[in-house]
A and B are shown apart, each in its own frame.
Chain A
């Protein structure tokens, strides 16, 4: 909500409105304090100093929380890379002129988007356990990689569909002149797509991709269910040692929020930078002196 529109819904408060808003503020504050206070009071047995002391010990962070954060990030980064590759493939396939290929990719994208991530994770996890050919890919100590593979696979399937659709809409939203210019200089439609349209769509997609990383980080917590030692699981392993479950949940939540909030800020920064670059380009285009172009001497050459 822009600031201008937030104020358009109500008049600048006069004396009576000010008094009423003050009353509402006080009522609201009391209500919120009662809500938060009630929660804290109900949990007071779990929020005592003793329950927080474990978080001051270095081994809590070194053996539980930091490995948890790293495992979460590891799953997220691996997934975003594989999902980008698969998503690019699916987007190219869906836009292809080869009818069967295009139909196949469309069906795959719709399937990946309709099925819950957790179900795909469970499916791949059970694949690595019950199908001998796949189970044999994890000999000896590699067995402990199974949950990671399942988490990354589940996240990859869903997010590749999302990325494929982002790319397709990115290509669709480019000005038609881009395609026309590509065809005009004698490229085939395939070349125009690969060399002119897709690179622009990928650059434009970068902020959305970082935003998608927030979704991936959150969904990686589903690994908890197949005992992948990500942040939530490791915080609860820690809690079983100190029986401070509530405090551990709150610390894990704080770390997740911090991580995702930073990623959101990064996405906003990238978007702002992208817009600034684009804006610069537009200004240059408008600055071209039409008369100079007519005389065959465009400026800036």
Chain B
């Protein structure tokens, strides 16, 4: 116990989890935006966009996240020196941005699939009725189908969000100082506290994911479309 308290004074566990939370929230917003665009492209009347969206989802979904993260950071950022922010920005922020981009690219495919399954739950009559009153594709989708689809997609989107929370640990592979990176350092520094450290960090993830799961099941029941 004494040792653990000393260790907690030495390592900033809260800062590591704050990094996890920031990675999760920013990537979640990015994945929601990109995923919605991909889903709309998939149901659009333009065959080129449909095919591009399908190809994107098939390719990215079947690639390991670890590969995407290492490709973006080790390959593009460190090896090829591709920067997303101006060179004056410090390397830590550059690394963080690349990590968020990698997480966004990967999870956008799951968001797109979730929204697509949501669109599938909207009865055809809704789209037919909208067309009958003269709405065009953008209006049918934006004002009638997507609002209902999003509400039906809360459960799959929530599952993706929880998976994203856990998947942020993958970016420790390229040295982003989030929770699992800190856990590794702490165990290497004081291996005699292996169990205590693991259960402490695991507890952190239980605290992050459990309320999220409860919230999403509450939300999907509250905003369920009555049919």
Dominant secondary structure of chain A at its interface with chain B? helix
Contact B71 A9 (CB under 8 A): no
Give the residues in chain B near A131, CB-CB below 8 Å: 194
B45 at interface, CB cutoff 8 A: yes
Check if B131 sits within 8 Å of A1, measured CB to CB.
Answer: no
Within 8 A of B (CB), among A113-133: 114-119, 122-123, 126-127, 129-131
Interface check A80, CB cutoff 8 A: no
> Is the pair B75, A222 in contact by a Cβ cutoff of 8 Å?
no
Tally of contact residues, A, Cβ under 8 A: 57
A244 CB, min distance to chain B CBs, angstroms: 10
B59 in contact (CB, < 8 A): yes
Interface string of B169-184 (1 = CB under 8 A from A): 1101100000110011
- B209 within 8 A of partner (CB): yes
Residue of chain A at shortest CB distance from B45: A10
Q: Interface size of B by Cβ–Cβ distance < 8 Å?
A: 58
Which 4 residue pairs are nearest across A and B when measured between Cβ atoms? A221-B64, A130-B191, A260-B62, A116-B166
Interface residues of B (CB under 8 A from A): 42-43, 45-49, 52, 58-59, 61-67, 70-71, 74-75, 79-80, 82, 116, 119-120, 124, 127-128, 131, 136-137, 140-141, 145, 166-167, 169-170, 172-173, 179-180, 183-184, 187-188, 191-192, 194, 198, 201-202, 205-206, 209-210
A-B contacts, 12 of them at CB < 8 A, read A8-B127, A9-B127, A10-B45, A13-B45, A21-B45, A25-B48, A28-B49, A110-B210, A116-B169, A122-B180, A249-B75, A257-B63
Q: Which residues of A contact B (CB under 8 A)?
A: 1-2, 4-6, 8-11, 13, 17, 21, 24-25, 28-29, 32, 42-43, 45-46, 110-111, 114-119, 122-123, 126-127, 129-131, 214, 217-222, 224-225, 232, 236, 245-246, 249, 252-253, 256-257, 260-261, 264
